[in-house]
Amino acid sequence: MARSYKPTGARPTSMVAVKLHAQRTLITGGTSGVGRALATALTAHGAKVAVCGRRADPARTDVIELRADLARPGEAARVVEQAAARLGGLDLVIANAGVQYPSPLTGGPRPELLARVREEIEVNLASVAELAAACWPHLAAGERTAFVAIGSGLGYAPKRSAPVYCATKAGLRILVEALRHQAAAATPGVQVQEVVLPLVDTAMTAGREGPARKLTPEQAADAILAGIRRGRPVVPVGATRPLLALLRVAPGLGRRILRNG
């Protein structure tokens, strides 16, 4: 059981980079894609890692695997408690799980469409809030700990075909920013970061291309871990670096670039 904590009333402080060795880490969506690559990289650094996903990876023996469907309320909290119990606490939590579906909302309220809409909202946004609430006592009990949420450039400039996914990533961006304010006041030792990913070559993006070449999951994982080490609040990766810069000086142009992605 993690120690209880109370708000300290401390002023916001600058981020302190988290050391990656010997970290007790939980990664949601960690059985495939970027999450799996993150787990591999972290174990190579000596971390103890628990991952959760809907499907198990029986060939994997270097991590603790927890089965979970984060579209179901309560699952994120259950995973946190199981991971903390088996790892002896938590130092790093990476909210990586995500789903994306085409959402032609102008075509009428088909039942399968509405079911997918709710799934995107639950997995991409609601479960992250639940994950944060559940893991915070564990993170606050340690030193130099971090909560990292994996966002997307589509949370800054949406594309036409996936309005719900884009909305959840925009909501995630605001959620993480507000959570960072809460942490600065109540638990300043907990680092809070948003990683902004470009298109990565995973099952989610199969058959899709963007204005920039896809990153491999391993390249994305390396960039994420480098960002965690540096401790910056927002970590743009790959093509999202120029995108975020463009959106500051020419937002209309930036949005047009991604609109039909």
76-101 pLDDT tens trace: 999 999 999 999 999 999 999 999 99
Neighbours of 73 (CB within 10 A): 11
Percent of the chain with pLDDT over 90: 80
Q: Model confidence at 60, in pLDDT bands (50, 70, 90)? A: confident
The answer to whether residue 153 is domain-embedded is: yes
What's the pLDDT band for 156 if we cut at 50, 70, 90?
very high
Q: How many residues are recorded in the chain? A: 261
Edge-to-edge order in the sheet of strand 24-28: 64-67, 48-53, 24-28, 92-95, 145-152, 190-197, 234-236
Let me know if residue 13 belongs to a domain. no
Mean pLDDT of 53-80: 92
Q: Is residue 6, in this structure, part of any structural domain at all? A: no
Residue 2's pLDDT band (boundaries 50, 70, 90)?
Answer: very low
Is 10 part of a structural domain of the chain?
no
Q: What whole-number distance in Å separates Cα of residue 242 and Cα of residue 34?
A: 21
Span 118-148, pLDDT tens digits: 999 999 999 999 999 999 999 999 988 999 9
Instruction: Please state, in angstroms and rounded to a whole number, the distance separating the CA atoms of residues 101 and 68.
Output: 20
Please state the rounded mean pLDDT for residues 242-259. 93
Q: CA 71, CA 69: separation in Å to the nearest integer? A: 5
Split into its structural domains, the chain has a count of 1
Measured distance CA(242)–CA(46) in Å, rounded = 33
CA distance 18 to 157: 30
| pLDDT in the model for residue 212 | 64
Q: What was the pLDDT predicted at 203?
A: 77
Predicted pLDDT of residue 233: 96
Q: Which domain holds residue 178?
A: 24-259
Q: How far apart are CA 230 and CA 39, in angstroms?
A: 19
Question: In percent, how much of the chain has pLDDT > 70?
Answer: 90
Output the CA torsion sign for 85, 86, 91, 94.
negative
In sequence order, the 6+-apart residues with CB closer than 8 A to the CB of 108 are none
**Residue 15 falls inside a structural domain:** no
The count of other CB atoms within 10 Å of the CB of residue 177 is 13
Q: What SS3 class is residue 31?
A: coil
Mean pLDDT, to the nearest integer, of 40-47?
A: 94
The mean-pLDDT minimum among 49-63, 169-183, 229-243 falls in: 49-63
- What mean pLDDT value characterizes the chain? 90
| pLDDT greater at residue 209 or residue 114 | 114
Residue 55: band (very low, low, confident or very high) from pLDDT cuts 50, 70, 90: confident
The answer to whether residue 7 scores a pLDDT higher than 70 is no
- 12-21, 154-163, 200-209: range with lowest mean pLDDT: 12-21
CATH number of the domain that residue 213 is part of: 3.40.50.720
- Residue 203 counted as domain residue: yes
Residue 5 lies in a domain: no
Residue 35 falls within a domain, yes or no? Answer: yes
pLDDT of residue 213: 78
